[in-house]
Amino acid sequence: MAHKGEVYACALAQAEKDSKIGGLHCLGPEVKSVSKALDSRTGLVGRNQELEAPYERVVITVPEDCRSMFVTFSEGQPVERDDIFSYFRETWGDCIVRVLMEKTTGRVQPMYGRVIFKSKAFVSLVLNGVEHFSLFIGGREIWLREYIPRSMNFGRPRASISAGS
Walk me through the domains of the chain, giving residue ranges and CATH numbers: 4-52 (no CATH), 64-162 (3.30.70.330)
Task: Say whether pTM exceeds 0.85.
Answer: no
Residue 112 neighbours by CB under 8 Å, 6+ apart: 70, 71, 72, 73, 101, 102, 159, 161
pLDDT, mean of residues 34-46:
63
48/7: higher pLDDT: 48
Task: Give the single-character DSSP code of 59.
Answer: -
135/3: higher pLDDT: 135
